[in-house]
Amino acid sequence: MPHIDPELERFVQAFPVARVSAPGADVVKIREDLDQRWRRMQPVVQVGEVADLTTPVPVRVYKPVLGAVDLPVVVFLHGGGWCTGSVVTHDDLCRRISRSAQAVVVSVEYRMAPEHPFPAAVDDSFAVLRWVGSHAREIGGDPSRIAVAGDSAGGNLAAVLTQLARDNGGPELRFQLLLYPAVGGVGEFPSRAENTDAPVLSTADIEAFLRHYAGSITGEPPVTLAPALAADLSGLPPAFIATVWHDPLRDEAEAYGRLLAAAGVPVETVRFDHLVHSFASYAPLIPAASEALEQCLSALRKGLLR
């Protein structure tokens, strides 16, 4: 098994994340505590403009240069198991996306479980994507160059949005950036057993998040929960999928990349063996995470130039 980057390993050991699978864990309290910690952090990456707007759903909009127009637009969905995370916890990542891709980033404050279970997050995310398709120019964007991006549960939502946009009249998407996404699928995924107690995200954590988000679903999950189960993946935008060895989600994300390729979708799947789930959030602190994230953002930047 590959070794974790030493600096990253020391950090996650010194500052372990709260486990939603722990006995008696209060996911709403975990969410609130996470938000409070991130609110105390000062931005490392400076961009030209940051504004909170009310669309059908609250969003935070980032522009690399004040007053810039005709920029590509990235609709960003934050991770956190559909239960935690916010525009606050992913502020740094969105700043990095905006600066690196020279794009308007629209970070979606979608409703979360357990208060708002599936499909609330999907409905909110798609509502914002449709709004961006119609109002891109109002926020300095180019409606012909829209991408979606997300990490973990946000990667799930981003993948779902590509299918919804394809099947429901747009908007047409240029690219999808999926960072260690939860996409579901069929078959055995050894990474679940290999990473039962992985740093940041364990197999039990995944199960706990799913119970909160979609515990009422019985039988085969819909493709808006498990996009890898879609019967047809053709016609989706080019993709970059980032995975890490030390992650229960590794195998399903890589399998999704193979399914996209088999459907004729241009896709690049890159595994970062020395990192852990949520590495993009460690970019302000860990050089190895920052370098890996820049590789991902380089693919996004090129995808928006197609």
Which positions are catalytic? Answer: 152, 247, 277
Q: How many CB atoms are located within 10 Å of the residue 114 CB?
A: 13
Q: Give the list of residues 6+ apart from residue 22 with CB closer than 8 angstroms, or none.
A: none
Give strand pairing partners of 61: 51, 106
Neighbours of 17 (CB within 10 A): 17
CB of 158 closer than 8 Å to CB of 77: yes
Question: How far apart (Å, rounded) are the C-alpha atoms in residues 145 and 174?
Answer: 6
Q: Which residue is associated with the tokens 């991130």? A: 38
Map residue 239 onto helix, strand or coil: strand
User: Packing angle between helix 153-167 and helix 120-135, nearest 10 degrees?
Assistant: 60
| Amino acid letter, residue 102 | Q
In this structure, are residues 243 and 181 in contact, taking their beta carbons and an 8 Å threshold? no
Distances (CA, A) of 144 to 73, 134, 150, 210: 9, 11, 20, 35
